[in-house]
Structure 1
């Protein structure tokens, strides 16, 4: 009996190890395309020598939790949608190519790398309410592109052969980010509070002739789910390489430039749905921003 029990135990251990090895090989296959050095860009290679004139320590940050807001303390609230144009000078950190402190990639590459590694959950491009998860395969279809079949003459044989090509994702096609946020006046704090609800990168769409035809959301992210991730990467500071903030500090401190393109309304219309041109949209967004600021002042009791 002792020999039989030892044999059964050895068999169980062997099967467990085999199953674990298979699971590990599967997970390794899924992550084969991800950089092994922890960078968000596969082309980023860390230095083999201390790259700097002074000793550095690892910067490990964590997002500070928001102060809870009670419904009874909310006197006024407005849902606002904004767009961030990365081509504006104040928003240049979004397209900075990256270094050892910023993750070795641009902001969109940080988000995509976290989604591919399973750190955060993305949602459907047209789902601002976060009800439909956006799978990794769906994202890869956009990143890698669908296969395009074409025929060409082989140089050596001269025969007509079929080729298959894919269009690789270009981070430069992300020129805007969309933000959904709530602007609230909290009587307990005695001031206006702005909380970001969701964030979506916008893809540039071009016609077959290469002409720009508009932007479309890539995916939506629930902002509270990504705050700890954003706290792990620093934002480039052109004035001082030491005085850098995290991406969470950057968003919470409102250091980006943006414009309002939509506010909550009965018809869910954007400003451009009212037949406004680009200049009118900017002016209307500025008017709404000033109206909310005046509303905050009116809430004070002297």
Structure 2
């Protein structure tokens, strides 16, 4: 009897300790809508969370029996792509970011390497991500006349409004081992247009980034998907991986690997060529599951 009372007392004491610890536990700040100052909490992913979430697709060469690579444009003036553009003013390190501010700030701070071909000036040409094609940050800043801007985000805010398009190079493939039809973004480049930015900086593509190297930074920041409801939390990487953007093809890496509008002036013919390439991809996937 005494033994039973002892175990009951021990059990009750354990419950009291657990309850006391629960009361003392301070909830994670990211679980609260407002921070200690009464402002909206800025939700970011921790390095461990980023590492755990990133899944890299890399099939065996011999298992890929069909493959097609294309170059696309993401136009931020399209409704579906606007979350990548806003906010485009008054950006700061601890505030809401847009796509360009993420990549440009990390490039300027030396955390993300940009590449540009030294021999091919075509803006649709994706360079080899090799040491000889690295863009030197200091040289870039001086050439673009940005040296007088003191901080990283002074430079970011000066350039950001003019970036209204992105090139993305991607590949689609069929893996016979897993019987999966998949895709992956290989590279991305911002396209600056001085018509939307400043006349002091020329229009063009200044650098390309390996998308896989950019992904950890995209995982850290969350995007506002809807102007009417900004509650859903989706990070920039998820936005791309789930293909929530709208884009159109400008180059097919086939035998000739030429831009779809090269030698064609009629916009209707250009659109037909774009649709043909899109159909090559979609028809292959549909044909797979029709047998």
What is residue 276 of structure 2 aligned with on the other side?
A: 287
Ranges in structure 2 where 5+ consecutive residues have no aligned partner: 1-34, 149-156
Of residues 67, 70, 90, the one that matches 2:80 is 90
What is residue 118 of structure 1 aligned with on the other side?
A: 110
CA distance 1:134–1:300, change in 2 (3 Å): same
Of residues 183, 201, 217, the one that matches 1:194 is 183
Distance (Å, rounded) in 1 between the aligned partners of 2:54 and 2:252 = 28
What is residue 138 of structure 1 aligned with on the other side?
A: 139
CA distance 1:270–1:102, change in 2 (3 Å): farther
Distance (Å, rounded) in 2 between the aligned partners of 1:119 and 1:237 = 27
Normalising by structure 2, report the TM-score: 0.69
Q: Is the 8 A contact 2:97 2:221 kept in 1?
A: no
What is residue 263 of structure 2 aligned with on the other side?
A: 274
Q: Which has the higher helix share?
A: 2
CA distance 1:294–1:248, change in 2 (3 Å): same
What is residue 44 of structure 1 aligned with on the other side?
A: none
Of residues 52, 72, 77, the one that matches 2:67 is 77
CA distance 1:136–1:265, change in 2 (3 Å): same
Q: Is the 8 A contact 1:235 1:245 kept in 2?
A: yes
CA distance 1:290–1:301, change in 2 (3 Å): closer
Matched, 1:241 2:240: no
Distance (Å, rounded) in 1 between the aligned partners of 2:182 and 2:269 = 27
Q: CA RMSD in A?
A: 3.0
Distance (Å, rounded) in 1 between the aligned partners of 2:92 and 2:113 = 25
Offset at residue 200 of structure 1 (A): 0.3
Q: Which has the higher strand share?
A: 1
Q: Is the 8 A contact 1:77 1:185 kept in 2?
A: yes
After TM superposition, the structure 1 = structure 2 runs for residues 173-184 of structure 1, keeping only pairs within 5 Å, are: 173-184=162-173
Of residues 95, 98, 101, the one that matches 1:106 is 98
Q: Is the 8 A contact 1:179 1:198 kept in 2?
A: yes
Q: Is the 8 A contact 1:115 1:121 kept in 2?
A: yes
Offset at residue 103 of structure 1 (A): 4.4
Map Cα deviations across residues 156-190 of structure 1 (whole Å, 9 max, x no partner): xxxxxxxxxxxx94322111100011111112332
Ranges in structure 1 where 5+ consecutive residues have no aligned partner: 1-46, 148-167
How many pairs align? 229
